Every structure is written in structure tokens, then in C-alpha cells.
Structure 1
């Protein structure tokens, strides 16, 4: 999934001759706080709502405001995860997408990013979730996949996160089955530590306990 595939074609861009008033109105209309500015199709940077609000004369052209624009952007061929990393670092309301000639191709909004994340993580796919705690040197995706397949299950998504406090690796695996009791038993038999899990055939106490564990996991 490339950055160019995530572009929202509804969000407009600005030109240096556009005024502060026009920029602020577009930001209000599209519920965003940043917009890209171009000159002769070349990307110049992002203008920010807070900076524009400090301009006394709203009829001032953007090119005459003297503002230092944010040059953040992502290449059109970059992977979705690169876009996600840039957004996490900058928390911009839009991510500009440019080509090799620094020409603006469009922007990616938070909505497109969340939809892509949902697709990438298979969040809406039916199936159980198991979170394992593993020492990094013992992590073997092939073995985890083999153990799942031994129970007629397929892993549809894997995500890892290292706990900076313990150094342990949390490995989240999304499966194509909701009934995961036999898979859990297999992991336990092979001495895997199970942080939490979600699936069918769980008691109310199990669900409550697992929900609490998952909330703790997400706050790492």
C-alpha cells in the first residue's frame, strides 16, 4: 500500500497568491488545521491555522506573510507504514504527498490513514486475537505460524511491540478463527506466555480480565 493510493482528492491546496482569509475558511470547511501551499505546482510547505490566526490583515496573500512553512511531506512511492511513522512524529492534520520533482500530488488525511490502518491490521476481519510475551531472542514467526496451523488456523496479521521497561516483546497475532481454545492450549504446552486473548467460548470473568490486560498492553 503506497502513499499515493491513500490520497484524499477532496482536500484542496493553496497557492501563494491566496489570502489568509481563504486559507482559514478552507481549514474550517474541511475540519483540518494544515493545508499545503504550492507555486507553479511545486510544493512549498504546509501553512498552519494557529500561525494564520496571528496575522492581523486576513487579506494578506500567503506569499507575503513571512511565515516559515512546515516542509514535512512523504514521497508518493513510500509505504503506508512510512506515512504512519511521519504522522506519529508530526501529528499533522494532513500529510502532503509529493513526487520526485517536489510536485504536490495531494494530501492524506487522518481519516484515510485510519482506514488504511484498519485494512492493514485486518481489524474488521472475523477471528480471535492472542497476545504473546516473548523474549526477543526467542521470537520465531515460523514456529508461531506452525503452531497455529497445527490447529487448522491461519495467522492473518502479526504486530510486535517491545516493552522498554522489561525488554520483552509483545506479539499480537490475529487468527482466522474465533474459537481459539485449542490454539491457546498449544501455545501454553510449548511454554509461551499469553498476555491476553479474545475469541469465542470465554466466560464473563475471562472477558473482563482480558479486557483489563489489553488496556494495559495498549498503554505500554
Structure 2
């Protein structure tokens, strides 16, 4: 799941010689509110419709505008995880993709990134989600996996985030290959793990809704 696999080829980059009128026309046509800016093959940042409307000059060249998100990019061989991380850090719905020579390759939207997760095996596979809270110093995926595997279950994927209720701790979100959590929860608690949330699949769920629901619960967004 490398970044270059999810480049959206329908989103063209603006050249520094393009004017803001053209930028707004493209945004309206593509139905998007942000576009990348390039100078030859060099990524120069992102420009939004809000910024253009604020400047209120349709003849202004894109290259004369101070763009946003000059560091909002990932290398093309990075994992899709990094795309979401960079997007979150820059509060952006779009991330540029560059090669190792810093040449612009394209962009990935958050819709593309979320779709990539939703289509992944670990998200689509049936299974429950369990969320643990712990200090970072107590975190060991090896130990957590050992406990879970003692109940004949496997961890399909995991996600770590800061616990919003206690910033000294982390939340460890685990997608398992089992739909029944009763014995797994009891074993985790017996080994001292604090479970702060869990999600079990219902019988005969709506497949599309379940797919998106699993993803959002996993990413906790």
C-alpha cells in the first residue's frame, strides 16, 4: 500500500504561471477546494479557494501567491499510513506525492486514502475491534499478541493514538480475526490490560455500512 498506488490522476497541478481565475475554474470543474502548485517538476505547495477569494484578483499569477502546505507531501514509496499522518499534521484534505529526487508525481486526497483503508483485507475481514489504554512504557505488541493468541485469535492490524482522556497514555486499537470478544476481554483484563472500548460485529450487517463503520472505528475518527 505505497503512496504512488493511490495517486489521483484526475487532479491536475497548477503551474506558477496560471492565474487565479483558471485555478477557480478548475476547482469548480473538479468540485474540489484545493489544488497543488508546481514549478516545472517542483512542488510549491497547495492553494485553496478561500485564499484566492481573499486576494480577490482573478489576474494574479499563482506563482505570486504564498501557498500553503509546502511540507504537505510524502515520498512515493511511503505507506498509506504516512499519507494520513501528514494530512492530519497539516489539517489538509490533500497530500502531494514526490519521488526521492523531490519531483512532483501527483496528489492523494483523503477520500482516496480512506478508500484504500476501507478496501484493505484487515478492514473488510470479519472481526471485532478492541481498544486498550496504557502507558507508552508498558506497550509491547509482542506481549499483547501473545495474550490474544492464547485465546486462538490473531491481530489483523493495529493503530496507536494518544488517549484524549489522559495524554500521558496511549490508545491501542486492535482489529482481531474473531467476532466474539468475551473470552479475549477476560484474558486481557486478567493480564492487567485496561479495555476502554470494544466493537463486535452484528449478525448479517449491511456490507457497505459495515465496511465504513469498521474503518472509522479502527481509525477512531
Please give the per-residue CA displacement for 1:100-136, whole angstroms capped at 9, x wherever unaligned: 3332211111111212343569333210112223333
What is the match of residue 189 of structure 2?
188
Q: Which runs of 5+ in 2 are unaligned?
A: 203-216
* 8 A contact 1:121–1:157 mirrored in 2: no
Q: Which has the larger radius of gyration?
A: 1
Please give the per-residue CA displacement for 1:83-108, whole angstroms capped at 9, x wherever unaligned: 22221122223212122333221111
1:125 to 2:125 alignment: yes
Aligned residue pairs total 203
* 8 A contact 2:156–2:174 mirrored in 1: yes
Give the alignment's TM-score, normalised by structure 1: 0.78
Q: Could you list the structure 1 runs, at least 4 aligned residues long, displaced by more than 6 angstroms after superposition.
A: none
Give the alignment's TM-score, normalised by structure 2: 0.78
- The offset of 1:160, in angstroms, is 2.3
- The offset of 1:189, in angstroms, is 2.6
- The offset of 1:30, in angstroms, is 2.1
* 8 A contact 2:126–2:201 mirrored in 1: no
What is the match of residue 99 of structure 1?
99
What is the match of residue 210 of structure 2?
none
* 8 A contact 2:155–2:175 mirrored in 1: yes
Q: Which runs of 5+ in 1 are unaligned?
A: 202-214
* 8 A contact 2:45–2:67 mirrored in 1: yes
Q: SS at the partner of 2:108? A: strand
CA distance, structure 1, for counterparts of residue 75 and residue 134 of structure 2: 35
CA distance, structure 1, for counterparts of residue 97 and residue 121 of structure 2: 23
Cα RMSD after superposing both structures: 2.8
